[in-house]
Amino acid sequence: MGEGIVIGAIVIIGGLVARYMKTHPFYQFKTQKFKEQYQSKLHDVLEQKLDGNKAYWVSRALADHLFDFGRRLYADHHVEQHQKFIPSEKIHLQDYRLETPENLCEQLVLRAVELQIPILRFQNHMKELWDLQLIPVGQLTPASVKRIAGAQTYISELEQMRLTQVQIQYFMDKNS
């Protein structure tokens, strides 16, 4: 009889955890894996200059900012406390070389499609990431994004961004 109660409790708790995982934004999207991989790489780099706990939360805030297009998808007190580090840390992301610009661009387009990001938010965010030398835009937009279903509007926005030869050369020099 006691074993049945324990097994029943485990099944109920397992069901509650599974339901939570289905509804929490951290597990809701297929592209979440890209954000988690980026955050893990960033955490490893930040641990060299911040203590482990702070490095974790700063990396989480930065990954959220990057992959959620500057908006909050969920409430987390610890992440919100560490958002103040985003402006000072995001300027170093290109130096860390956590992801190739082409891969990051493709991951963000996939994420935008899945999150159904408004086009103006997408455009502004991607322009910011271009300015940080994290992704290619304009005529440098990777061909791989053209294969993403439902992404034509986003791809058009990327391709329409005008670049000067100086900007292109600077990007190529920084990312070679």
- Residue at 124 is within a domain: yes
DSSP classification of residue 133: T
- Residue at 122 is within a domain: yes
Residues of the chain with pLDDT under 50: none
Q: What is the pLDDT of residue 34?
A: 96
Q: How many domains does the chain have?
A: 1
- Residue at 2 is within a domain: no
Q: What is the pLDDT of residue 1?
A: 62
Token pair for 102: 């082409």
State the pTM of this model.
Answer: 0.83
- Residue at 44 is within a domain: no
Q: What is the pLDDT of residue 66?
A: 96
Contact of 89 with 66, CB cutoff 8 Å: no
| Amino acid sitting at position 175 | N
Q: What is the pLDDT of residue 78?
A: 80
- Residue at 27 is within a domain: no
* Inter-residue long-range contacts of 149-157, CB under 8 Å, 24+ positions, other chains counted: 149/113, 150/113, 151/109, 151/110, 151/112, 151/113, 153/119, 154/109, 154/112, 154/113, 154/117, 154/119, 154/122, 155/109, 157/119, 157/122, 157/123, 157/126
- Residue at 158 is within a domain: yes
Which residues, including other chains, have CB under 8 Å from residue 68's CB and lie 6 or more apart? 35, 111, 115
- Residue at 159 is within a domain: yes
Q: What is the pLDDT of residue 73?
A: 82
- Residue at 133 is within a domain: yes
Q: What is the pLDDT of residue 20?
A: 54
Q: Which domain holds residue 173?
A: 99-176
Q: What is the pLDDT of residue 146?
A: 92
- CA distances to 41, 75, 156 from 38, in Å: 5, 20, 25
Residue with tokens 């997408």: 122
